[in-house]
Structure 1
Amino acid sequence: MTSYDDLPDSDLTERLRLGDSAAFAEVYERFFVVLYKHALNRLRDEEQAKDIVQELFEDLWSKKASLFIQSNLSNYLYTAIRNKVLKVIAHQNVVSAYAAKQVAFLKPDEGLTDHRVRERQLAAIIEKEVQSLPPKMKAVFELSRKHNYTHKEIAEQMDITEQSVRSHIKNALKILKIKFRLVYYMLMIFW
């Protein structure tokens, strides 16, 4: 009898694809906690984090026959949970923006035009997403974009190389671009 806890991820993936429920149970045991912690770290909501990890495993089981993983299983699952987290965050941002728009609409005495309301909402969404970046990346990004420091000045202040500064800024822009693309599409649906 095969001990599933000794099998490498690639063998588990193949057995899962063939419909082996014991392989699925082992994948669940190996990855649930780490995926949950990652989701919780980003969402800060235990129930929501559990829900999206459960949803990921439901999707994995229901699509097992067509499962094609180019990288390793852990990378596949991590990417899948990250995408689910980003969808949840985008949805939360849209809901918040919609609620703020409704509040502004119900208070016409403030004298703000629709354009100014949207501008404030967008600024709040941008700030929230910048605040959700990893700490060092966020610090580098803010020094660059908010305080207009040069890469050299940032490198000296943070005691890192200029290449690290460039990498942090590039990665921050990549993350924000993905998040804002999702937010943009959601806003277009509701506005």
Structure 2
Amino acid sequence: MVAYGAYTDQELLGLLRKGDQAAFTEIYDRYKLLLHRYAYRWLQDKEVVKDVIQELFTVLWTRREALVYNENLSGYLYISVRNGILRKISQDKRFAAYAESLADYADNGESITDYRLRENQLRKIIEKEIAALPAKMREVFELSRNSYLSHMEIAERLGLSEHTVRTHIKKALKILRSRLGFYLVICFLMS
């Protein structure tokens, strides 16, 4: 039986890249306690530390062939744990911000449902007005606004001149402004 404990980190990495599970186990046994202590100093929660370390070693095994390791395995592992710690802290901050936002919402009782309802109603009105445009003008307008095509790309696609495309878009915007102006004023007054 091979004594993996006598291998250097670089030799273990070479074996790991080839899928040697015993080399992986040796790396895990060699560094798990050191990494646990390092992570615990920052996170102060044994379960969270276990998760961070487990994630690190899972990635180490699943990406063993693709990962590029420096000559310093311990440095790589410490940096990976540090990044895991920073991700966890960032997640905790986002969770705390979300919880605070949810508490504010519950305390203030403000409802954004009404705003969303009005937004959806306005979106439907705009879509209806766009659908009421003349066919070619609507097609040009939708290619410009929904597909984000340039005037030249629309002209090439539809066999029109750029000037015609530009004219269709200007007219469509003018029609929509005149038709939607009333709705926008009403929505503004309701908010």
Q: TM-score range by the shorter chain?
A: 0.5 to 0.7
Q: What is the CA distance between 1:40 and its match in structure 2?
A: 1.4
**Same amino acid, percent of matched pairs:** 38
Corresponding residue for 1:50?
Answer: 50
Q: What is the CA distance between 1:106 and its match in structure 2?
A: 2.2
CA-atom RMSD, angstroms?
1.4
1-side partners of 2:58 and 2:14: how far apart?
Answer: 17
Corresponding residue for 2:12?
Answer: 12
Q: From the CA coordinates, give the structure whose radius of gyration is larger.
A: 2
Corresponding residue for 1:104?
Answer: 104
Structure 1 unaligned runs (5+)? 110-191
2-side partners of 1:60 and 1:18: how far apart?
Answer: 13
Task: Indicate if the aligned counterparts of 2:24 and 2:61 stay in contact, CA closer than 8 A.
Answer: yes
Could you state the TM-score of these two structures normalised by the residue count of structure 2? 0.54
Runs of 4+ in structure 1 off by over 6 angstroms are none
1-side partners of 2:34 and 2:11: how far apart?
Answer: 20
After TM superposition, the structure 1 = structure 2 runs for residues 19-168 of structure 1, keeping only pairs within 5 Å, are 19-108=19-108
2-side partners of 1:101 and 1:10: how far apart?
Answer: 49
Task: Indicate if the aligned counterparts of 2:52 and 2:84 stay in contact, CA closer than 8 A.
Answer: yes
1-side partners of 2:26 and 2:89: how far apart?
Answer: 29
1-side partners of 2:70 and 2:57: how far apart?
Answer: 18
Could you state the TM-score of these two structures normalised by the residue count of structure 1? 0.54
Count residues with an aligned counterpart. 109
2-side partners of 1:45 and 1:69: how far apart?
Answer: 29
2-side partners of 1:102 and 1:53: how far apart?
Answer: 31
Amino acid at match of 2:48: Q
2-side partners of 1:75 and 1:17: how far apart?
Answer: 18
Structure 2 unaligned runs (5+)? 110-191
1-side partners of 2:67 and 2:15: how far apart?
Answer: 11
